[in-house]
Chains A and B, each alone.
Chain A
Amino acid sequence: MDATHTYWYLTRATGIVAYLLLFASVALGLVMTTDLFPRRFERFRVFDLHRFIAILALVLSVFHALIVLPDTYIGFTLPELLVPFASPYRATWMALGMFALYLSVIVIASFYLRPLVPYAAWRALHYLTFVVFVMAVAHGAGAGTDTQSMWARDMYAATGFIAFDLLVIRLVRGTTRGVRKRTDALPPRPTAAQLLNDG
């Protein structure tokens, strides 16, 4: 049975890891913009890692969706994997996964649109990540075979709880973005006149 179901095992494993990467990216993004963020880390480095993990999650999600194509047991076709509600297998939960995938493409594209669009618009677009996360949880719990296992249920519960808590902390305490304590502030840049006088 192993050879027959290898693709099925692969899609399940990649789905779970893609979900964990999405969770890591969401958690990092939330921590980064609150006062929970340790000051010894440079924010731009963590932002870069946050973006990298999100892209990795997307790559794994695409793999998770397409790796079932060679599986002859269930026999998915490409339209059934790409068109919401076309799947013969748990259509609603599968559709949620597809919506999450398409929305995450938009969110990741927004990383690169940041210099081109107003900050408020970019932020609104970036908030779609929470919708993606909720859809991913629903897709995993509803369509995932492993939801029957206790470890999978515990994983969804723990990650969902942590993400929700971080969101509440962020909403209650607000963002620390752009806020700097006076002790951290850089010294003012010398003016042209000062430079000339020094020279």
Chain B
Amino acid sequence: MKLRKQPGAKLAVVASTLALLGAFFALIRSDPQIGAEAAAEPARPAGNYNDFFFPKSTPSAAPANSIPPTPTQPAVKPHTRTRAS
């Protein structure tokens, strides 16, 4: 990149680029939606921004002393009788 031709115009482009970078960095950093989600999320050693911004509901392993799951109720036989029968 030669600045020798039109140095004023090129420096103006570079200055505008840096100003835009600063503005967008500030805008992104202050994004309330992403800021709130990030604050609610505990720090993790490694992760994925897909999960970070769009968390999946993954099932967690139940502790050993937790209440055992209740046996499934037998399905109630639907009332199939009609007035005619």
**Residues of A bordering B, CB below 8 Å:** 1-2, 4-5, 8-10, 12-14, 16-17, 20-21, 45, 48-49, 52-53, 55-56, 60, 72-75, 88-90, 145-146, 148-149, 151
Residues of chain B within 8 A of A56, CB atoms compared: 1, 13-14, 17
Residues 1-49 of B at the A interface (beta carbon under 8 Å): 1, 5-6, 9-10, 13-14, 17, 20-21, 24-25, 27-29, 31, 33-35, 38-39, 43-49
**Residues of B bordering A, CB below 8 Å:** 1, 5-6, 9-10, 13-14, 17, 20-21, 24-25, 27-29, 31, 33-35, 38-39, 43-50, 52-53
User: In terms of DSSP, what is the predominant structure of the interface of chain A?
Assistant: helix
Q: A72-B46, A89-B48 are in contact. Are A20 and B20 (CB under 8 A)?
A: yes
Q: How many inter-chain contacts with C-beta < 8 Å in the A-B complex?
A: 72
Q: B50 contacts A17, CB within 8 Å?
A: no
In the bound assembly, the distance between CA atoms of A21 and B13 in angstroms comes to 9
Q: A9 contacts B49, CB within 8 Å?
A: no
Residues of chain B within 8 A of A10, CB atoms compared: 25
Q: A48-B6, A49-B6, A73-B47 are in contact. Are A16 and B24 (CB under 8 A)?
A: yes
Q: Which of B6, B29, B45 sits near A2, CB closer than 8 Å?
A: B29
Q: A75 contacts B46, CB within 8 Å?
A: yes
Residues of chain B within 8 A of A12, CB atoms compared: 24, 28
Residues of chain A within 8 A of B38, CB atoms compared: 1, 5
